[in-house]
């Protein structure tokens, strides 16, 4: 049976559309505290909320929290997808999801570091390319 336009939507109608079916009793109590106009507004905003959460990878709130927080009044994004953002160091025309192709160093041409008496070039040693902090001679 279809409801009249002036009639408030039933909780079962909301529950069937809400994506998370947890803690129904508290969600129904929150629903009963809403006015008929708030119930209609919440039901109308539900598709935008589910779309935003899915597009942005955000976890859905429990229905009780969504209703008690009056989240249907939150701003929802435009249903058209936004163009991909340009990341740092990504040339125009490429999306930030594409990784830049950098050449890898060849191990055949690698020069060994100068040796140190304790096994390698330590910071601040005479053969180290890294000067010690606070030394005036560097």
**pTM, full prediction:** 0.52
Cα-to-chain-centroid distance, residue 98: 18
Biggest alpha carbon distance in the chain?
A: 90
- The answer to whether position 91 is within a domain reads no
In a domain, 115, yes or no: no
| For residues 102-109, average pLDDT | 57
User: Does residue 35 fall inside a structural domain?
Assistant: yes
**Tell me: the pLDDT tens digits for 22-50?**
999 999 999 999 999 999 999 999 999 99
For the chain, give the percent of residues with pLDDT over 90.
Answer: 39
Please state, rounded to an integer, the average pLDDT across all residues of the chain: 74
> For residue 51, is it within any domain?
yes
Q: Is residue 55 part of a domain?
A: yes
Instruction: Report if residue 33 sits inside a domain.
Output: yes
pLDDT, greater one: 122 or 50: 50
Among residues 52, 50, 75, which one has the least CA distance to residue 63? 50
Nearest to 27 by CA among 10, 11, 6, 47: 11
* Structural domain harbouring 54: 21-73
The Cα angle at residue 105 between residues 100 and 109, in degrees rounded to 5: 160
CB of 19 closer than 8 Å to CB of 50: yes
- Domain count across the chain: 1
């Amino acid at each position: 049976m279809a409801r009249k336009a002036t009639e408030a939507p039933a909780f079962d109608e909301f529950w069937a559309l809400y994506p998370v079916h947890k803690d129904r009793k508290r969600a129904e109590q929150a629903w009963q505290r809403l006015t008929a106009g708030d119930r209609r507004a919440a039901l109308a905003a539900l598709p935008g909320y589910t779309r935003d959460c899915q597009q942005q990878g955000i976890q859905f709130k429990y229905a009780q929290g969504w209703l008690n927080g009056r989240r249907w009044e939150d701003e929802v994004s435009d249903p058209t997808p936004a163009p991909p953002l340009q990341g740092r160091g990504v040339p125009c025309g490429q999306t930030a999801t594409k990784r830049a192709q950098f050449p890898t160093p060849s191990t055949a041409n690698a020069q060994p570091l100068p040796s140190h008496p304790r096994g390698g070039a330590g910071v601040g040693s005479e053969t180290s390319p890294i000067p010690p902090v606070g030394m005036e001679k560097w």
